[in-house]
Amino acid sequence: MSESRLDLLTRFPWLKEAIKSRLWQPAAMLLTLSFFVLVILTGLLGTPAGSRNFGIIFVWIVWWAVLIIVLIPFFGRLWCAVCPIPGPGEWLQRRGIISRVPGKLRSLGWRWPRPLRNIWLQNAGFLMMAMFSTIILTRPLLTGWLLLGFLLLSVLFSILFQNRVFCRYVCPVGGFIGLYSLLSPLELRVKDVAVCREHKTKDCLVGTSCSYGCPWLVYPGTLKRNAYCGLCAECVRACPKDNIGLNLRPFGSDLLVDKERRMDEAFKAFIMLSCSLLYSVVLLGPWGWLKALANMETVSGWALYATGFLVVNLLVVPGLFWLTTVLARHLSGLHASVHRLFVDHAYGLVPLGLAGWIAFSLSFIFVNGSYVIPVLSDPFGWGWDLIGTSRVAWTPLALGFLPALQVITLLVGLVFSITTLYRIAQQHSSAFAGHALVSSGDRAWWATLPTAGFATGVTLLFLWIFLG
């Protein structure tokens, strides 16, 4: 890849020392785990009023906002490095928390089934959660059970399988973080591939006396994308050749890695885009009947809602994009199959999808952010007043700026998507440049026209929901 990279570990030696330390990750995980335990406890034992419950406010407003607006766009999978959910299971496998305990990981050592070595399970898990999201987001008890369930499931997977199989193949949140981390300007990569090729012991995979092998089952020597790198830096600690860098790079570089694009990830892009639209319609729209369906007020009503939800996610949005790629192929004369164009161009929607989520999440923070102050003083909603702020009233903040911020976010996402779609089309058109009647640039432009139209249409839909 010709794009410039700045290795932060070479530029800032103190950062290298900090990252190589075995302390930072468990320390951060213990901190997030303490919040996580409080979230579960407040969810299970606290008030059922979501707006007065620490669990609801801190998970679905604070954590979500920090994750989607800051961590994913700028730091990729950094959350996965400090996420509390795999902590207890991983520490059980390792029989320790900080130091490298000698010997192999303790687990039954089952192998994850080959047909499931993709993110289809994560796609299904996310869709399942999303269908129930209106009730999960508003019922502390459900949030508490759900998170406790994740924790227990992660421990179970750590007992059955080695390393972070749960994070890599099961966690529904990890699935979309992986996809959107392709956008992030931060990457862990080897500095010189030849060094890895000649290095026979592969310490980054199997571990050393002071480090574990990659918990994400990734071989850094061939790593080209962020999708499955958990940024735990275990490979940095392991590499005896000092051949791993933490690079600053242009946003979205991984979206242009053409050899590893897959249908499961393409569908993740569609699901995330569709869900951000649907969440905006259901939760921010004025349609009470739709909220009633999503709120499971009747089983038949919810079944109708769930069916519609799945149809939009799995048929309508991908179907419309399929037609768009058929048109793109027809207009441009590209020789690649529609299937290939469909999968590849889906990655062009990743920036717009993330922009949609950010725009949606901004509404949450501006409107409901003030709930944070009282729940800090009374996390269970039991009438406590620990820091004297439990009676601070709900106050929406700076709503005058909200539409402008949403529009700017969506426009940045749209232009980024169109540029990415064009560059993906360029990759297809360059293969045929020698034989074409038109230049490869023209082919790419004509291939981009319909997909850019699709992205523009989606942006206008967002604008209609937020401002129209």
Partner 1 sequence: MRKRLLTLLPPALVALGVLFVPLDMFAATPVTRQFTVQASQFAFDPPTLRVNRGDRVVITLEATDVVHGLYLDEYDVNVRVEPGLSKQIEFVAEKTGKFRYRCSVSCGSLHPFMIGELVVMPNDAFARAVGLTLVAALAALVYLSRFPPGEA
Q: Can you give the binding site for partner 1, defined by CB under 8 A?
A: 48-52, 134-135, 138-139, 283-289, 291-292, 295, 367-368, 394, 396, 399-400, 403, 407, 410-411, 414-415, 418-419, 422-423, 426, 441-442, 444-445, 448-449, 452-453, 455-456, 459-460, 463-464, 466-468
**Beta-carbon contacts of residue 58 (< 8 Å; ≥ 6 apart):** 35, 39, 372, 375
Least distance to partner 1 from the beta carbon of 48, Å?
8
First CA to last CA across the chain, in angstroms?
42
CA dist 114 and 103 (Å) reads 27
Taking CA atoms, 305 is separated from 282, 283, 294, in Å, by 10, 13, 6
Residue placing its CB nearer to partner 1 in the complex, 290 or 346: 290
| Maximum Cα–Cα distance across the chain | 75
Scanning 46-163, the segments in alpha helix (DSSP H) are 54-57, 64-65, 72-75, 78-82, 87-94, 120-131, 133-138, 140-160
Secondary structure letter of residue 179 according to DSSP: H
Residue placing its CB nearer to partner 1 in the complex, 176 or 446: 446
Whether residue 105 contacts residue 213, with contact meaning beta carbons closer than 8 Å, is answered with no
CA 74 to chain centre: 12
Per DSSP, the residues of 211-245 read: EEPPTT---GGG---STT-----HHHHH-TT--EE
Least distance to partner 1 from the beta carbon of 239, Å?
32
Phi, psi of 372, rounded to the nearest 5 degrees: -60, -40
Least distance to partner 1 from the beta carbon of 68, Å?
18
Least distance to partner 1 from the beta carbon of 440, Å?
8
CA dist 351 and 418 (Å) reads 9
Residue placing its CB nearer to partner 1 in the complex, 48 or 109: 48
